[in-house]
Amino acid sequence: MTTETSQLTSAPQMLLAMQLVGGFGGAPGAWRMPGVPLDSYTDMDAHVRHAQAAERGKVQLLFFADTPALETDLNVQPQRHVIDPVVVMTSIARETKRIGLVATASTTFNEPYNIARQFKAMDVISHGRIGWNAVTTSNPEAAANFGVAVPPRPEKYGRAHEVIQVVEALWGSWGTDALIGDVAAGIYADASKIQPINLGGQYVASRGPLPIPPSEQGQPVIFQAGGGQNGLELAGRYADGVYANPYDIASAKAQRDALRAAAVAAGRNADDIKMFAGFMPTVGATKRDALDRRRALDESIDLRQRVAYLGHMIGLPLRYEDIDQSVPEQVLERAVANPSDPRSDHALAVVREGWSLRDVIAHGVIDYHPVVADTPERIADFMQEWFEAGACDGFSLSIDSLHDGVDAFVDEVVPILQERGIFHRDYEGATLRDNIHAAPRYGRDPRVIGES
203 Cβ contact partners less than 8 Å away, ≥ 6 residues apart: 155, 158, 159, 162, 163
How far is C-alpha 229 from the geometric centre of its chain's CA atoms? 19
- Answer yes or no whether residue 356 interacts with ligand FMN by CB under 6 A: no
Cα dist from 293 to 117, 165, 320, whole Å: 42, 45, 21
Considering only the stretches 43-51, 53-61, 237-245, 250-258, report the one whose residues sit in contact with ligand FMN under the rule CB under 6 A: 237-245
In sequence order, what E strands does 162-265 have?
A: 179-182, 187-189, 199-200, 205-206, 221-224, 241-244
Instruction: Please identify which residue in 120, 156, 256, 268 interacts with ligand FMN, judged by CB under 6 A.
Output: 156
Considering only the stretches 86-94, 221-229, 343-351, 418-426, report the one whose residues sit in contact with ligand FMN under the rule CB under 6 A: 221-229
- Answer yes or no whether residue 19 interacts with ligand FMN by CB under 6 A: no
Considering only the stretches 167-175, 185-193, 220-228, 414-422, report the one whose residues sit in contact with ligand FMN under the rule CB under 6 A: 220-228
Other beta carbons within 10 Å of 96: 18
- Answer yes or no whether residue 225 interacts with ligand FMN by CB under 6 A: yes
- Is the link from the previous residue into 37 a cis peptide, with omega within 30 of 0? no
Considering only the stretches 65-73, 176-184, 328-336, 370-378, report the one whose residues sit in contact with ligand FMN under the rule CB under 6 A: 65-73
In DSSP terms, which residues pair with 100 in a beta bridge? 61
Angle, vertex CA 360, rays to CA 226 and CA 372, nearest 5: 55
Minimum distance, C-beta of residue 342 to ligand FMN, in the bound complex (Å): 13
Instruction: Please identify which residue in 16, 101, 116, 135 interacts with ligand FMN, judged by CB under 6 A.
Output: 135
Considering only the stretches 89-97, 227-235, 286-294, 306-314, report the one whose residues sit in contact with ligand FMN under the rule CB under 6 A: 227-235
The 177-216 contact track toward ligand FMN, x by CB under 6 A, reads: ----------------------------------------
Instruction: Please identify which residue in 14, 55, 63, 66 interacts with ligand FMN, judged by CB under 6 A.
Output: 66
Cα distance between residue 262 and residue 260, in whole Å: 5
Cα distance between residue 401 and residue 404, in whole Å: 6
DSSP H/E element including 435: helix 432-435
Cα distance between residue 425 and residue 167, in whole Å: 34
- Answer yes or no whether residue 152 interacts with ligand FMN by CB under 6 A: no
Instruction: Please identify which residue in 67, 90, 118, 375 interacts with ligand FMN, judged by CB under 6 A.
Output: 67
Whole-number CA gyration radius for the chain: 23
Minimum distance, C-beta of residue 243 to ligand FMN, in the bound complex (Å): 5
Give the length of the chain.
452
Considering only the stretches 64-72, 247-255, 301-309, 351-359, report the one whose residues sit in contact with ligand FMN under the rule CB under 6 A: 64-72
Q: Select 226 or 267, whichever has its Cβ closest to ligand FMN.
A: 226
Cα dist from 416 to 133, 170, 421, whole Å: 30, 43, 9
- Answer yes or no whether residue 226 interacts with ligand FMN by CB under 6 A: yes
Considering only the stretches 28-36, 134-142, 206-214, 397-405, report the one whose residues sit in contact with ligand FMN under the rule CB under 6 A: 134-142
Nearest Cα residue to 122 out of 164, 90, 87, 98: 90
Q: Would you say 144 and 67 are in contact if contact means Cβ atoms under 8 Å apart?
A: no
Q: Would you say 424 and 201 are in contact if contact means Cβ atoms under 8 Å apart?
A: no
- Answer yes or no whether residue 104 interacts with ligand FMN by CB under 6 A: yes
The 246-285 contact track toward ligand FMN, x by CB under 6 A, reads: ----------------------------------------
Name residues contacting ligand FMN, limited to 106-125 (CB under 6 A): 106
Q: Select 143 or 383, whichever has its Cβ closest to ligand FMN.
A: 143
- Answer yes or no whether residue 394 interacts with ligand FMN by CB under 6 A: no
- Helices (H), strands (E): how many in the chain? 17, 13
| Interacting residues with ligand FMN (CB under 6 A) | 65-67, 104, 106, 135-139, 153, 156, 225-228, 230, 243-245
